[in-house]
Amino acid sequence: MFGDLKNLKLVNPNLKLLVPQASLVIILILLFVFLFKNGYAKINSQFEEIRKAKETEKLLSEKASVLTDVQQNVLGYTEKIALALPDKNPATWVISQVRKGVDDNSLVLSNVELRQLKTDGELSNMELEIEVKAGADKLTNILSFIQYLDDFAPLTRPKEIKIEEPKDEEITTTVVLVIFWSEFPTKLPPLNQPVSEISFNEQELLNRISSLKSPEFTMLPPQPATERVTPFD
């Protein structure tokens, strides 16, 4: 028994030396695992940021290329588009265009009325009723005038066309046009949002808008909305 105690006393000093060394190794292993996990997470995060940056760079490069093509193809239409669908009530311009069509077709403008101002979301509209008179032998002139109403800017939509029977050798024609306008966009899309190229239909629409006859006084301030305008009173 005493021999066993003696042997135990001889082993204890070695164990005392090994315990601190083992503890140091464990601490180093734990520290290495901690640093590895944190380092790996940071490295992985950096790689993810680099990947996203490359994707954004590629997207911006493609967007710049598309915008360059759009700039070359569309900038020439900007003035026409602004006249076709202005940001303010273009009633003055429309009436000016109507008067020109009346004069060009040797008709008489007998009445003009503006009414029913409406707003549907961002799009505003109002009605313009016009009445023109012509001799009974000028039906062709009236039809030419009606066709002209579809060929000028700002954009209008015929709502009603009424050609009365000749009376006292005179034909009276009443046309109701819907006038449109809308505020220009004030917000740009996100920088990283893709931009699609102009489609064939969109290009056709731009060509159609470009062909519309512009008002003679494009800088004339639009007329404010009113319930009724009768310039012959």
**pLDDT tens for each residue of 184-233:** 777 766 666 666 667 788 778 888 888 888 888 765 454 454 444 444 44
Question: What is the domain class of 85-183+199-210 according to CATH?
Answer: alpha beta
Q: Which residue in 85, 109, 86 sits closest to 96, CA to CA?
A: 109
**pLDDT tens for each residue of 85-117:** 888 889 999 999 999 999 999 999 999 999 877
Residues 87, 182 contacting (CB under 8 angstroms): yes
Residue 206 has a CB neighbour count (10 Å cut-off) of 17
Residue 187 or 152, more confident:
152
| Angle, vertex CA 90, rays to CA 84 and CA 93, nearest 5 | 85
Q: Which residue in 89, 84, 68 sits closest to 206, CA to CA?
A: 84
> Is the pTM value of this prediction over 0.75?
no
Rounded Cα gap, residues 107 and 87, in angstroms:
31
- The helix/strand/coil state of 165 is coil
Residues 162, 174 contacting (CB under 8 angstroms): yes
